[in-house]
Amino acid sequence: MAHTNIPNYNPDEVERKWQAKWDADGLYHSDIHPDEKKFYALTMLPYPSGDLHIGHWYAMTPSDARARFKRMNGYNVLFPIGFDAFGLPAENAAIKHNIHPKKWTYANIDRMRTQLKSMGAMFDWRREIISADEKYYKWTQWFFIKLFEHGLAYRKMSPVDWCPKDQTTLAREQVVGEDRHCERCGTPVIKKDLEQWFFKITDYAEELLNFEGIDWPERVRTLQTNWIGKSVGALVTFKTEAGDPIEVFTTRPDTLWGVTFMVLAPEHPLVQKLTTPENQVNVEQYIMDAQRQSDIQREAADKEKTGEFTGGYAINPVSGERIPVWIADYVLMTYGTGAIMAVPAHDQRDFEFARKFKLPVKVVVQPAGAPKLEAGEMNEAIPAAGELVNSGPLTGTPGSESFERAVEYVAKLGVGHASTNYRLRDWLISRQRYWGAPIPIVYCKKHGAVAVPEDQLPVKLPEDVEWKPTGQSPLKLHPTWSRTTCPICGEPAERETDTMDTFMCSSWYFLRYLSPDDDKAPFDQKEYDYWMPVDTYTGGIEHATMHLIYTRFFHKALRDMGIVKGDEPMMQLRNQGMVLGEDSEKMSKSRGNVVAPDDLVKAYGADTVRAYLMFFARWDMGGPWSSGGIDGVQRWLRRTWTTLLEPAAAGKASEGDIKTLRRRVHQTLKAVTRDFESFEFNTIISSLMELMNDMSKLKEKVGGSAAWAEATEIYLKMLAPVAPHISEELWERLGKPYSIHTQSWPRVDEEAAREEEITLVVQVNGKVRERITVPAGIDEESAKKAALESEAVYRFLEGKTPKQVIYVRGRLVNIVV
RNA sequence: GCCGGAGUGGCGGAAUUGGCAGACGCGCACGACUCAAAAUCGUGUUCCCUCGGGAAUGUGGGUUCGAUUCCCACCUUCGGCACCA
């Protein structure tokens, strides 16, 4: 079978040739064409960490293939790329290798740009953005000022999460895991009281829970919903005996008559006042202990309850009962009001606390069906709703309306009202590090925090800075940089020396792709009106409660300022899984299980790597890399090469063979089209492999026919988004007009795709006994008749009469005996 | 504890609406070609079997003529949240 008269498939040569030509021709330039429908395909912008990782390829290749598919389907496609270039790793590498963060970052970008280009993606490089460029971060600062002007950026002193290794504060979203460690470096965080800048994302908590009109994965929606943590309840005001109000948030206003004590967070402002002299020493000791403990210790769920009695009492506003006020670290100052009403009969935490400190338990809810609750006999709290008992005027209220009735009651008394609480906190954006966009604020003695005027942007990041982390912002240590004048009064003033969280840069980057060089505005309005919103956004799920929630907030805030339109920036989101090492572990240099795409491209060519990444796992699931499997994909592309280039045999094709070929081609086209739409990339490749297997078998007979010409043309068009170089090369060698990537996606010939004969499965009692070939259009009567007459059925019926015969059109007959 | 995903051959995975379980590929075995090997091509490959069949999609039930698919309970595993009032 060896044919020596056709050239060998040399991926390296083919790929270099076409990448150069596409680049020279501007084949992937995306410009506004008002008469064409647009498609904005976006892949999450990479951090320039040094080398392009196989994970980047895994994320971007199918996104690129789908963008190409959309282009062939008549869309004017925008598929841009850029670099999320500010951030800690640059600074850490700078310290380690004593190289300036800027130099390190831009050298990495140069390397990664070359690596990205080897992928052969349809990126429009004219639109590349680098978030660390002055012309980019000028607008990041501009957005900060807009948020500031609209009251969505504010500064406050509060206990914040601090990473002792990276020497900076972190947003809550960037503190992860049970031991509450830094998302970047893994070091457990500590609390520090600092004055920091925040964005008021909590203003949008309710709206962020609404995913109507966007096609985002259930998983991301759940993660964001949990993160926002909505609780519906009521705020109720108790009073101390001295008359000071203590407001509590409760989700169970129906249990108000069951309150037997109150608990304040140790940091609660009323603690000092409430504490009686004889409890002073113990309370102060407890507060000090609580402060010393890390969050990890304090928030451990299985920890035994601790607390201290203040000696003070409060009055229950509905019952008038006098109840003791305690402090305990299970009540957090950062959630709700920092104080709770304790109902030990119906809340497990309060129950444990009451049992430990011998506080009374009072039953006020009797769930239907449960035995009558007796406080003395309970060994756990009963949180279920039910009929109210021992609840003053509300006694006898059924569980179904107890919540509403209780809220009405406290509202009538003027001591409370319905309220909703969210777990979401405002976004802390100050970072005490060098390599970020400076916060464009000036502090004036007279005017306080003043925004830098727009015409003075950008506030440039100086390069002559000692960047080693000291816990102080490096910009603060610069001898002159922070010295300036107040934009309002002109008096000497100080610049803010913290930089912004890099998630600020990535919250709006997809807008900068629209007009990366515009120096009048963050984006060009014409470009915006044509391209936005993003139609498909692809990337990892790890940003569900970081980037993806920030960018939605950002968009909504800009919408309310009239800067952008619509409620959401990205209409459809899809997440890829993760490529693991061959040992099924996360790839890491220390484990030595890293797969380098550059090596693979060298050995197999980009097309094989692309196709294998699309083939080897379900894209949304990912999985361990297997070095063996890639050979199969390489074999398939080589087979494609030889099958399409070998001269056709002179033989005459039979009508049956032609029909078979066309049927297979159009059936495959149908499946591939469907799978591109639904992100099922692995079955695209297997369908193409199957078709190639069939084509190579049929070629000897049909190689000279018009059907064969049609088959090769459709096959190459389907292959083009997956393997853009080899398909372009074969397209050219078959004498077709340049470029295959500007061709239209073929149309399915339904007539040709239709099966003429089908295999009818014959079951007896649900077990397959026979397969018979029948005409596709067979009617029910004939199908049943054919089944009953088959030899196997005769054997299995053993003379018995069928009780029932079930027919599924075009599929099977089941004979029930 | 709560929320969500996943469990199918030796391996990655496929199966459109409840209708042929294991497509496609890897690996393996055998064969062709070769002095030989590689490459390539071909055949086979879930398990058991008395060669008639039988069993099988994490486990146990249920619905159905028929369940990888729907329902209930559970196990394992991955991810998120977690003293959130």
Candidates A762, A665, A753, A671; CA nearest to A712 is: A665
- Measure, in angstroms, how far nucleotide B40 C1' is from residue A113 CA: 38
Backbone angles phi, psi at A8, to 5 degrees: -70, 150
- A396-437: per-residue pLDDT in tens? 999 889 999 999 999 999 999 999 999 999 999 999 989 999
Identify the helix (H) or strand (E) that includes residue A791: helix A791-797
What pairing do the DSSP bridges indicate for beta strands A570-575 and A534-539?
Answer: parallel
Rounded CA gap, A131 and A147, in Å? 19
Q: What CATH number did the domain enclosing A672 receive?
A: 1.10.730.10
- Measure, in angstroms, how far nucleotide B75 C1' is from residue A370 CA: 30
Q: Which nucleotide is nearest to A541 (CA to C1')?
A: B79
A586 within some domain: no
Give the pLDDT confidence score for residue A650 in this predicted structure.
Answer: 65
Residues A248, A206 share a domain: no
Domain limits at A812?
755-816
Rounded CA gap, A558 and A798, in Å? 77
Rounded CA gap, A346 and A361, in Å? 9
| b (16+ CB within 10 A) / e for A741-752 | bebebbebbeeb
Beta strands in A356-482 (DSSP E): 365-366, 387-388, 416-422, 427-428, 430-431, 441-444, 448-451
- Name the stretches of chain A with pLDDT < 50: 1-3
Question: Do residues A83 and A107 make contact, with C-beta atoms less than 8 angstroms apart?
Answer: no
- Measure, in angstroms, how far nucleotide B54 C1' is from residue A667 CA: 36
Residues A345, A445 share a domain: no
Q: Which nucleotide is nearest to A255 (CA to C1')?
A: B85
Name the β-bridge partners of A245: A239
- Measure, in angstroms, how far nucleotide B10 C1' is from residue A626 CA: 14
A587 within some domain: no
Question: Do residues A165 and A187 make contact, with C-beta atoms less than 8 angstroms apart?
Answer: yes
Q: What CATH number did the domain enclosing A387 receive?
A: 3.90.740.10
Sign of torsion over alpha carbons A422, A423, A429, A430: positive
Rounded CA gap, A97 and A116, in Å? 25
Q: Which nucleotide is nearest to A675 (CA to C1')?
A: B16
Q: Which nucleotide is nearest to A304 (CA to C1')?
A: B83
Residues A674, A695 share a domain: yes
- Measure, in angstroms, how far nucleotide B10 C1' is from residue A629 CA: 15
A362 within some domain: yes
Question: Do residues A86 and A507 make contact, with C-beta atoms less than 8 angstroms apart?
Answer: no
Candidates A806, A809, A817; CA nearest to A765 is: A817
Q: Which nucleotide is nearest to A765 (CA to C1')?
A: B65
Q: Which residue has the least CA–C1' distance to nucleotide B64?
A: A766
Question: Do residues A191 and A221 make contact, with C-beta atoms less than 8 angstroms apart?
Answer: no
Rounded CA gap, A640 and A647, in Å? 13
Question: Do residues A552 and A569 make contact, with C-beta atoms less than 8 angstroms apart?
Answer: yes
- Strand B: positions under 7 A of a protein C-beta atom: 3-6, 11-16, 19-21, 23-27, 39-42, 53-55, 65-67, 80-85
Residues A338, A191 share a domain: no
- A779-811: per-residue pLDDT in tens? 888 888 888 887 777 777 777 777 888 888 888
Q: Which residue has the least CA–C1' distance to nucleotide B12?
A: A616
Contact residues for A165 (Cβ-Cβ < 8 A; gap 6+): A182, A185, A187
Q: Which residue has the least CA–C1' distance to nucleotide B2?
A: A226
**Chain position carrying tokens 């083919």:** A14
Give the pLDDT confidence score for residue A3 in this predicted structure.
Answer: 46
Among the candidates A374, A391, A422, a domain finishes at: A422
Residues A640, A738 share a domain: yes
- Measure, in angstroms, how far nucleotide B41 C1' is from residue A267 CA: 79
Amino acid identity of residue A282, one-letter, is N
Residues A198, A115 share a domain: yes
- Measure, in angstroms, how far nucleotide B64 C1' is from residue A382 CA: 40
- Measure, in angstroms, how far nucleotide B20 C1' is from residue A662 CA: 24
Give the pLDDT confidence score for residue A784 in this predicted structure.
Answer: 85
A781 within some domain: yes
Residues A568, A501 share a domain: yes
Residues A763, A742 share a domain: no
Domain count for chain A: 4
**Chain position carrying tokens 């850490």:** A92
A588 within some domain: no
Residues A151, A67 share a domain: yes
Amino acid identity of residue A402, one-letter, is S
| Residues found in chain A | 817
Residues A632, A530 share a domain: no
Q: Which nucleotide is nearest to A328 (CA to C1')?
A: B83
Q: Which nucleotide is nearest to A349 (CA to C1')?
A: B83
Among the candidates A422, A454, A473, a domain finishes at: A422
Give the pLDDT confidence score for residue A481 in this predicted structure.
Answer: 93
Name the β-bridge partners of A161: A170, A191
- Measure, in angstroms, how far nucleotide B82 C1' is from residue A509 CA: 34
Residues A403, A289 share a domain: yes
Rounded CA gap, A313 and A670, in Å? 75
Inter-CA distances, A278 with A268, A270, A275, A312, A443, Å: 19, 17, 8, 11, 46
Q: Which residue has the least CA–C1' distance to nucleotide B24?
A: A686
A17 within some domain: no
ipTM above 0.90, yes or no: yes
Rounded CA gap, A45 and A557, in Å? 22
- Measure, in angstroms, how far nucleotide B30 C1' is from residue A793 CA: 36
What pairing do the DSSP bridges indicate for beta strands A757-764 and A767-775?
Answer: antiparallel
A291 within some domain: yes
A622 within some domain: no
Report the interhelical angle of A88-97 vs A101-117 (nearest 10°): 110
Among the candidates A716, A736, A752, a domain finishes at: A752
- A729-776: per-residue pLDDT in tens? 999 999 999 999 999 999 999 999 988 888 888 888 888 888 888 888
Question: Do residues A681 and A697 make contact, with C-beta atoms less than 8 angstroms apart?
Answer: no
Residues A340, A267 share a domain: yes
- Measure, in angstroms, how far nucleotide B44 C1' is from residue A656 CA: 28
Inter-CA distances, A693 with A512, A542, A637, A665, A746, Å: 46, 39, 11, 12, 20
Q: Which nucleotide is nearest to A338 (CA to C1')?
A: B85
